[in-house]
Amino acid sequence: MSQLRQHHSQIIRLGLSSHKHLIPPLLNFCALSDTTDALTYALKLFDSIPQPDAFLYNTIIRGFLHSQLLPTNFILLFYSHMLQNSVLPNNFTFPSLLRACSNIQHGKQIHAHLFKFGFGAHRFSLNNLIHMYVTFQALEEARRVFHAIPHPDSVSWTSLISGYSRWGLIDEAFTIFQLMPQKNSASWNAMIAAYVQTNRFHEAFALFDRLKAENIVLDKFVAATILSACTGLGALEQGKWIHEYIMRNGIELDSKLATAIIDMYCKCGCLEKALQVFHSLPLPFRGNSFWNCMIGGLAMHGKGETAIQLFKEMERQMVAPDNITFLNLLTACAHSGLVEEGRHYFCYMIRVHGLQPRMEHFGCMVDLLGRAGMVQEARKLIDEMPLSPDVTVLGTLLGACKKHKNIELGEEMGRRVIELEPNNSGRYVLLANLYANAGRWEDVAKVRKLMDDRGVKKAPGFSMVELQGTVHEFMAGERNHPQAKELHAKVYEMLERLKSVGYVADNNGRELHGHDLDEEEERENPLYYHSEKLAIAFGLLRTKSGQTLRILKNLRICEDCHRACKLISSVFDREIILRDRNRFHHFKMGQCSCQDYW
């Protein structure tokens, strides 16, 4: 801007301030600069022009929209100023105006003006009109505009697909996708992204297989989207294939795609490969989100000390941490039992970086203290929070009370979280388990009855295992699997071998039965058929000795399955990498990477 002002002053001194070819480039530069100062200068410059034309008005409108520094209504007021000065809009005016509409009433007025001024057949404007209507969930209006276009292009189709997906109408979006005569990478990406964003990962992979079969060129956007699906399913082999494809075909590797690759490797349990990719990329790729992703990956794997070292390196590289950085750092401390380090960085984010802790940061500190058995200090932190604690923070303390058998405080937290989230089955189950551990079976029965009275169903547990590029899913108590008989026999054989080395099921099953289990009931013990045990048994059936098993579970692993996994890794000489709702567990030679601290 300082250079521009010098050039502008020279133009004025030379008496060329009204020259029609010199002023528009100055105005365009100011309008598209992302500072309030530049926009103010653009308005002053605009006001000095005797008779601004539609091009100059469009430049200011586009600049305001690009900057997002002023309310969008200001853009519509500026458009009104344009009409009052008898300057007719052109086909470049309406796309920006439609994107500036903050409500559907304004959008409909611009729609009317589009036709009033004779641009009702302008494809670019009509595509923006479709986008405007789907933004406000006016899907029927969007379809009417779409059908009014004589020959809709790929942008028209993709806007409609994205619009339906945005509002959760995924099957309807797929119907539109199927009708699209010529699909391009943008439309494939829109449909795959719709499945990924709604956790319909299997359908995302099926569509991706179709894309490959039809020899559609994979671009960086599709690659990033399908990597997210790999992350969601823990599909490491698929993720590796995409990474190799990117490298082999020279796909542009921007910061977003690089972060997606790191995230995939972290969440598919291949931390070494994630670190390898991270360190192999040049510094320009390592933006804030890139560092956050790697620190978060280390946190999930319980590598607290390494996460702290990476954070220090981030600061040395002059990359400013944000709230997400510290959230990941505190999580890393919590998962590794680094209490003093966690306290330090909680204060450090405020004192050094001026970042005020959010609810999530307080939740991490409660988790950190609670895991370490400092439940009273965690309670004190909650009481002194400047924010009213949400159900997640209170639930975290409840979990700590269960772990450390603080019945009185746990009971108080349990009742509070149930009242705050009466339809969340996990809250009831945690309180019931707290009572079960204390042998208070009457209270367990009361919690179960409360669940029944309120119609709350326990969330089903499921686990997934990837074998030879195919992801297999198992529900707890699976009875309908094609190989159910063989699978259950393998589970029983597996657990019999574990019993020979001292395994005894942790019968919180008494929580359901209310008494000790006899031999026949023991064989049908629900603990035997938790989803991760089924997934591991299937992996043992279908893989060779020594092959690593990678399991993804939707719930937190229970204590019984955690103990069983340690024994399986020793008895069967297998490494098992299991990702539950909270973190990763690497089971090897009878030990777990979490060191029983989860």
pLDDT of residue 287: 83
Q: Which helix (H) or strand (E) holds 130?
A: helix 123-135
Length of the chain: 598
Asked whether the predicted pLDDT for residue 465 surpasses 50, the reply is: yes
Among the candidates 406, 431, 459, a domain finishes at 459
- Any domain includes 397: yes
CA dist., res. 447 & res. 567, Å (int): 33
Looking only at the bridges linking them, the beta strands covering 591-592 and 584-588 are antiparallel
Domain that holds residue 505: 462-592
> Do both 403 and 385 map to the same domain?
yes
Cα 214 from chain centroid (whole Å): 29
- Any domain includes 37: no
> Do both 374 and 406 map to the same domain?
yes
- Any domain includes 560: yes
Answer left, alpha or beta for residue 318, where phi above 0 means left and psi between -120 and 50 means alpha: left
Looking at the chain, the whole-number percentage of residues with pLDDT higher than 70 is 96
Range with the lowest mean pLDDT among 61-70, 377-386, 435-444?
61-70
Tokens of 134: 């789907």
Q: How many helices (H) and strands (E) does the chain have?
A: 32, 6
pLDDT of residue 319: 92
- Any domain includes 154: no
- Any domain includes 554: yes
- Any domain includes 584: yes
CA dist., res. 156 & res. 150, Å (int): 11
The distance between the two most distant Cα atoms of the chain, rounded to a whole number of Å, is: 102
Tell whether the torsion through CA atoms of 316, 319, 323 and 329 is positive or negative. Answer: negative
pLDDT of residue 507: 60
- Any domain includes 231: no
> Do both 487 and 475 map to the same domain?
yes
> Do both 493 and 439 map to the same domain?
no
Find out whether 157 and 145 touch, Cβ atoms under 8 Å. no
Asked whether the predicted pLDDT for residue 191 surpasses 90, the reply is: yes
Asked whether the predicted pLDDT for residue 522 surpasses 70, the reply is: no
> Do both 587 and 524 map to the same domain?
yes
Please, which residues have CB within 8 angstroms of residue 72's CB and are 6 or more apart in sequence? 65, 100, 101, 102
Q: Which residue has the tokens 């979990």?
A: 399
> Do both 444 and 468 map to the same domain?
no
Q: Which residue has the tokens 């590797």?
A: 253
> Do both 419 and 400 map to the same domain?
yes
> Do both 421 and 468 map to the same domain?
no
Find out whether 45 and 18 touch, Cβ atoms under 8 Å. no
CB-based burial label for 222 (10 Å; 0-12, 13-18, 19+): buried
DSSP code per residue over 478-534: ---STTHHHHHHHHHHHHHHHHTTT-----TTHHHHSS---HHHHHT-GGGG-HHHH
Please, which residues have CB within 8 angstroms of residue 60's CB and are 6 or more apart in sequence? 27, 31, 42, 43, 46, 78
pLDDT of residue 480: 78
- pLDDT one-digit tens code per residue, 469-494: 788 999 887 777 788 888 888 998 99
Q: What's the pTM? A: 0.81
Among the candidates 432, 459, 486, a domain finishes at 459
The percent helix, strand, coil of the chain (3-state, each to 5) is 65, 5, 30
pLDDT of residue 163: 94
- Any domain includes 442: yes
Cα 410 from chain centroid (whole Å): 31
> Do both 489 and 581 map to the same domain?
yes
- pLDDT one-digit tens code per residue, 319-341: 999 999 999 999 999 999 999 99
Strand stretches in 371-519, DSSP E: 462-467, 470-475
Q: How many domains is the chain partitioned into structurally?
A: 2
The predicted model gives 259-267 an average pLDDT of 95
pLDDT of residue 253: 85
Give 513's pLDDT tier (boundaries 50, 70, 90). Answer: very low
Tokens of 272: 């070494």
Asked whether the predicted pLDDT for residue 305 surpasses 90, the reply is: yes
> Do both 468 and 537 map to the same domain?
yes
Hey, what long-range contacts does 44-48 have (CB within 8 A, 24 or more apart)? 45/8, 48/17
> Do both 440 and 476 map to the same domain?
no
CA dist., res. 71 & res. 358, Å (int): 27
Among the candidates 407, 432, 459, a domain finishes at 459
What average pLDDT does the structure give for the chain?
89
CA dist., res. 578 & res. 569, Å (int): 12
Tokens of 86: 């008898």
Of 558, 559, 563, 550, whose CA–CA distance to 592 is shortest? 563
> Do both 431 and 487 map to the same domain?
no
Higher-confidence position of 161 and 582:
161
